């Protein structure tokens, strides 16, 4: 299997290129528009044909590369069915599976950070978007976020996965590349709560500034802008 984890310094976003092997079909998760040329080059070097591209949710801190990649490769743009994007080709439902040859990703609806947040389980690993981060969890104070929903997504969905499941988030701000469900369950400070009310209380008191790109990125990602229209 080909599994590449790429990083955008500006937004600390992780992007994943996945394929069952060289010369085969590929999938990209959470691309950043400014890196489109880099993705295309990597795909070319590995003789990969990009067929699907997924955003875990509508991002507020960077412009997605979904639309630009679709323009250049004709790949299918996928998001969860609750996405407000106006340019998605395929809306995936909770528990449905996305296939790229022998690669299978099961969608898990994990609202809370936004109401359009989905995680994707692929064998031994899960792409958690901003729902579960390494040593943190996604904020819930905009884009119809809900800390009650986030608690449910975390404690009743993601933390119920096998403990050795690898966690690959959409961001990390401290240089960590992945974690496990077990590590997060035992040491993520946001998850050491004894009730939903306690979690809601923590999230209500974070007092975070809005992401700098938010007023540009959210509408751009809903409309699906490509590079020539930025």
According to CB under 5 A, which one of 130, 149, 172, 184 is a site residue for Fe ion? 130
Q: Show the binding pattern over residues 79-118: x = contacts Fe ion (CB under 5 A), - = does not.
A: ----------------------------------------
Q: Which is nearer to Fe ion, 19 or 56 (CB)?
A: 56
Minimum CB separation of residue 189 from Fe ion in Å reads: 19
Helix axes 66-73, 36-45, angle to 10 degrees: 50
- CA nearest to 171, candidates 84, 72, 56: 56
Pairwise CA distance, residues 185 & 210, whole Å: 27
Q: Say if residues 158 and 126 touch (Cβ distance below 8 Å).
A: yes
Minimum CB separation of residue 158 from Fe ion in Å reads: 15
By CB under 5 A, tell whether 30 contacts Fe ion: no
By CB under 5 A, tell whether 172 contacts Fe ion: no
Residues in the chain, how many?
Answer: 230
Minimum CB separation of residue 205 from Fe ion in Å reads: 20
Minimum CB separation of residue 25 from Fe ion in Å reads: 27
By CB under 5 A, tell whether 149 contacts Fe ion: no
Quote the tokens at residue 153: 């997504």
Give the binding range for Fe ion (CB under 5 A) out of 21-29, 128-136, 158-166, 175-183: 128-136
Minimum CB separation of residue 1 from Fe ion in Å reads: 27
CA 29, 31, 37, 38 dihedral sign is negative
DSSP state of 159: G
- CA nearest to 54, candidates 91, 28, 93: 28
By CB under 5 A, tell whether 8 contacts Fe ion: no
Q: Which is nearer to Fe ion, 43 or 150 (CB)?
A: 150
Pairwise CA distance, residues 140 & 111, whole Å: 9
- Give the binding site for Fe ion (CB under 5 A): 130
């Amino acid at each position: 299997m080909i599994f590449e984890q790429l990083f955008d310094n500006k937004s600390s976003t992780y992007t994943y290129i996945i394929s069952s092997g060289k010369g085969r079909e590929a999938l990209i998760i959470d691309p950043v528009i400014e890196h489109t040329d880099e993705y295309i080059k990597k795909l070319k070097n590995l003789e990969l044909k990009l067929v699907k591209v997924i955003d875990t949710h509508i991002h507020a801190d960077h412009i997605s590369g979904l639309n630009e990649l679709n323009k250049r490769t004709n790949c299918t743009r996928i998001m969860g069915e609750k996405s407000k994007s106006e340019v998605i080709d395929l809306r995936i439902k909770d528990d449905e599976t996305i296939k790229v040859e022998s690669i299978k990703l099961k969608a898990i609806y994990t609202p809370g950070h936004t109401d359009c947040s989905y995680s994707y389980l692929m064998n031994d690993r899960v792409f958690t978007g901003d729902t579960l981060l390494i040593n943190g969890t996604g904020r819930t104070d905009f884009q119809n976020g809900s800390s009650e929903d986030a608690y449910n997504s975390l404690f009743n969905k993601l933390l119920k996965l096998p403990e050795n499941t690898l966690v690959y988030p959409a961001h990390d701000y401290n240089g960590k590349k992945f974690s496990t469900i077990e590590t997060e369950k035992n040491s993520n400070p946001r998850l050491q709560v004894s009730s939903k009310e306690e979690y809601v209380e923590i999230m209500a008191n974070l007092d975070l500034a809005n992401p700098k790109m938010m007023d540009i990125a959210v509408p751009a990602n809903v409309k699906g802008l490509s590079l020539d229209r930025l």
